[in-house]
Structure 1
């Protein structure tokens, strides 16, 4: 096999996963499929989904996990709506466990795409700030990963991509993701389960509005009903606590 042909195969393996990811995201965006991941869609289809879960619980859990893996791998920004929906429809503990597993699987897919498509080039040409970031992640990968996972300030998608680019070992990425997303996942799932009466009332009102033949039937459920300031503060404090070992290490290294 000639060297140019080998290079073409190597380039295809490197960039094809990223190209497919971008293509799928573009298709879902331009077709409007992403709108299914919204609070409005949850309320509008709540009655049918609730009945389906009651009749086919195991099948519903598997479908939920499959959707979550795809949503995370495709970097949908509203994946948290799925967590809330899971808590509402499946119960907080079933949804919590299913979400942790599915989200970690989806994150791992994105991690590998970033590592193979972008990571090799950036690691070979790392200089200045990028090199310092890489060194920091190499020395304290566990603590930094837990901090990024526990703190809700950082976009979930970004935390899936950056470690792959900076060369974080997959084993550390996997278990810190599995552990680090657990508190927030259960918190969102629990918040979702607590919305049962509100969503049911909204769904009944929406269905009554549609049955009356009205063309403009709105949904009044807002993000603020789900994500409260207290919840974000609690998760933020948990994330900051994960930095304590790094701070202690730096203080001990500081000359008197």
Structure 2
């Protein structure tokens, strides 16, 4: 007869490890990609293959557009080097309107993949701890929940926030999935427009024997509107804070 009182294996041990595999895979591929791809996904590579790429685009626009989105999704999802090159390439191959649309679509899908990988693994346990927390942690958690939309938009609009941080942090603190997706798609449009616009004029830059100057992003006429949008996103939080003060 089987001893029903004997210790049984912990049923959640293997599933718990399995939950972390997607995020671990992303981290491993990101490290490998950093050392193996950073010298290949460059503007020099784009310059050397410009005629080939333009020929492919002209002969099969839909297939090239689909391939571009797929490659861009992989770059973002695995945090591989070359996201800026990919964004500029979108403008170079497809123009401002279509290029911006494809760039935003691909970046949003890639960001969502990272979000889900982190949420499924580390994010699930961390969110559970935050839900059970008290004191300062609880106040921070409640503040985030009350201002979730504004915080998510700020993460996208403030140029100083790395893209992978804006993908991982929301997953780890338990923001709503639908809010993450739509704020990502909306929040990356301004920056996406700038990168795509640079790509539209890339042919002329190559003809002069130069490389695109991404420092343009920090010019006053570019950074000013982005900071203005950031201030607008933060405005609801400021209003709530002011209204919450006694006597206001």
C-alpha deviations, 1:88-134, integer Å up to 9, x for none?
A: 12111111111111111110110011112211232233467655443
Deviation at 1:225, TM superposition (A): 6.1
Among residues 1, 9, 12, which one is paired with 2:17 in the alignment? 12
Tell me which residue corresponds to 1:70: 74
Shift of 1:164: 0.4
Aligned residue number for residue 44 of structure 2: 40
1: CA distance between counterparts of 2:69 and 2:152?
A: 23
Q: Report the number of matched residues.
A: 237
Residues 1:3 and 1:238: Cα distance change in structure 2 (over 3 Å)? farther
Alignment of 1:153 with 2:160, yes or no, is: yes
- How far apart, in 1, do the equivalents of 2:110 and 2:41 lie? 16
- After TM superposition, the structure 1 = structure 2 runs for residues 4-153 of structure 1, keeping only pairs within 5 Å, are 4=9, 6-30=11-35, 32-126=36-130, 131-153=138-160
In 1, Cα distance between the equivalents of 2:83 and 2:42? Answer: 9
**Which residue of structure 1 lines up, in the alignment, with residue 176 of structure 2?**
169
Q: Which runs of 5+ in 2 are unaligned?
A: 1-6
Deviations 1:34-55 (A, max 9, x none): 3332222222222221222122
Q: Could you give the per-residue CA deviations for residues 65-107 of structure 1, whole angstroms, max 9, x where no partner exists?
A: 0011111111135412211111012111111111111111110
In the alignment, is the contact (CA less than 8 A) between 2:87 and 2:192 conserved in 1? yes
Give the conservation status (yes or no) of the 8 Å contact 1:192–1:226: no
- 2:186 pairs with 1:195: no
Task: Specify the alignment match of 1:223 in structure 2.
Answer: 213
Q: Give the whole-Å Cα distance in 1 for the aligned partners of 2:67 and 2:113.
A: 18
Does the CA-based 8 Å contact 1:133-1:166 persist in structure 2? no
Give 1:243 deviation, angstroms.
0.7
Residues 23 and 114 of structure 2 are in contact (CA less than 8 Å); yes or no, is this contact kept in structure 1? no
Segments of structure 1 that go 5 or more residues without pairing to the other structure are 203-219
TM-score (normalised: structure 2): 0.86
Partner of 1:241 in structure 2? 232
Is the CA contact (8 Å cut-off) linking 2:147 and 2:237 kept in structure 1? yes
Over the aligned positions, Cα root-mean-square deviation in angstroms equals: 2.2
